[in-house]
Amino acid sequence: MDFRSDTVTQPTPAMKQAMMDAALGDDVFGDDPTVLQLQEMAAQLLGFEAALFAPSGTQTNLIALMTHCQRGDEAIVGQQWHTYRWEGGGMAVLGSIQPQPLEHQADGSIALADIEGAIKPDDPHFARTRLIALENTTGGKVLPLTYMRDVRGLAQRHGLATHIDGARLFNAAVALAGAEGDPIQQAREICRDYDSLSLCLSKGLGAPVGSVLLGSKTFIQQARRTRKMLGGGMRQAGMLAAAGIYALQHNVHRMAEDHANAGLLAAGLADAIAAHPRLSGNAEVQAAQTNIVFMDIAATLGPALVQHLANNNVKVTSGYHRLKDRSVSRVRWVTHLDVDRSDVEQALQAVAGFQP
Ligand SMILES: *Cc1c(COP(=O)(O)O)cnc(C)c1O
């Protein structure tokens, strides 16, 4: 029972068959038909002119940042966002781009006033503010569509480019669509009028490898050069792209199951904590909006709980986390294709059996 991340999913036999059957070419020469098909499909699905397949989301984000920004430009990012915190400082190291990180609000967004306040005037003292990068979902939270619109408007007023790190875009879209709506249409709404978007195929979508960068034709043309420079040009990449096509065709709508399982897990954890002699008062669970559940537990108990779970064949990730008034262990649970309802139930039993 591997709740560490939605990246751990194994390709299914049907996905592997699609990979085996893929027509191949050489994508650096631009003639791998399956890569071309994936790129066209993704662009059309999400309402962009063009797309580019790359090995990872870290790379599609970096390509986007380096395509929007030149040396000495500045990108506004969130303090906790992947582009700033979880990509090895790539934008600074490889792009000579200055990140301007900003604190988050409780809902995961960055206050519009904070963004506006961080935009530098045209003055030789300052780096040139060039780009606002958002992340959606962020920590499993869905940024509201009105917020997406407001940030886009703000960027337009200041002549800034906009990028969405949509590693888990479809989790956001499926959550916004609810039971009745169309996730594809919601996904298009999230990225409407944004300049670029990075989408991971290897998370909730269940492909083994790959991300797609989307943007205008001109943007993607430039991005192709940056991808080559970063070593992301792949040859018979159609084998990987075929998994991405399969994922987009089969694994978007089913994410609702992952969200239901995360909801079940969050509610079950809250109950297990309340009923537990040591966890009660020492642990807290955040409600899940999509497929990620965070549980904060007293730093004195966290490592023992994680070890106990591992002993019971339940894998999670955890780390030191600073709240306003204290430090806690923050345990992260992610639901995906390869964990089902009974795995959630077994994991909850393991939590209930914790004896520190
Ligand atoms: C996973 C993730 C990425 C990219 O990760 P890779 O492992 O490089 O594919 C980018 N942004 C966010 C928000 C992510 O969760």
Per-residue pLDDT of the chain (356 residues; tens, 9 = 90+): 999 999 999 999 999 999 999 999 999 999 999 999 999 999 999 999 999 999 999 999 999 999 999 999 999 999 999 999 999 999 999 999 999 999 999 999 999 999 999 999 999 999 999 999 999 999 999 999 999 999 999 999 999 999 999 999 999 999 999 999 999 999 999 999 999 999 999 999 999 999 999 999 999 999 999 999 999 999 999 999 999 999 999 999 999 999 999 999 999 999 999 999 999 999 999 999 999 999 999 999 999 999 999 999 999 999 998 888 889 999 999 999 999 999 999 999 999 999 98
Pairwise CA distance, residues 123 & 118, whole Å: 14
Pairwise CA distance, residues 204 & 337, whole Å: 7
Q: What is the model's pLDDT at position 236?
A: 98
Alpha carbon distances (Å) from 135 to 27, 34, 40, 96, 207: 28, 28, 23, 21, 21
SS3 content of the chain, % helix, strand, coil (to 5): 45, 20, 40
Which residue out of 165, 202, 205 has the highest number of ligand 1 atoms within 8 Å of its CB and is therefore the one to mutate? Answer: 165
Which residue out of 58, 169, 197 has the highest number of ligand 1 atoms within 8 Å of its CB and is therefore the one to mutate? Answer: 58
**Cβ(80) – ligand 1 distance below 6 Å:** no
Compute, in angstroms, the gap from residue 241 CA to the centroid of ligand 1. Answer: 18
Q: What is the model's pLDDT at position 36?
A: 98
Question: Among candidates 201, 306, 313, which has minimal Cα distance to 247?
Answer: 201
Compute, in angstroms, the gap from residue 200 CA to the centroid of ligand 1. Answer: 7
Backbone angles phi, psi at 56, to 5 degrees: -150, 165
Question: Among candidates 337, 282, 290, which has minimal Cα distance to 15?
Answer: 337
Question: Among candidates 57, 20, 43, which has minimal Cα distance to 236?
Answer: 20
**Cβ(135) – ligand 1 distance below 6 Å:** yes
- Is-cis flag, bond preceding 137, omega within 30? yes
Please give the structure tokens belonging to residue 205.
């979508």
Compute, in angstroms, the gap from residue 261 CA to the centroid of ligand 1. Answer: 22
Largest separation between any pair of C-alpha atoms in the chain? 63
pTM, rounded to two decimals: 0.96
Q: What is the model's pLDDT at position 1?
A: 95
Ligand 1 atom closest to residue 58's alpha carbon, by position in its atom list = 8
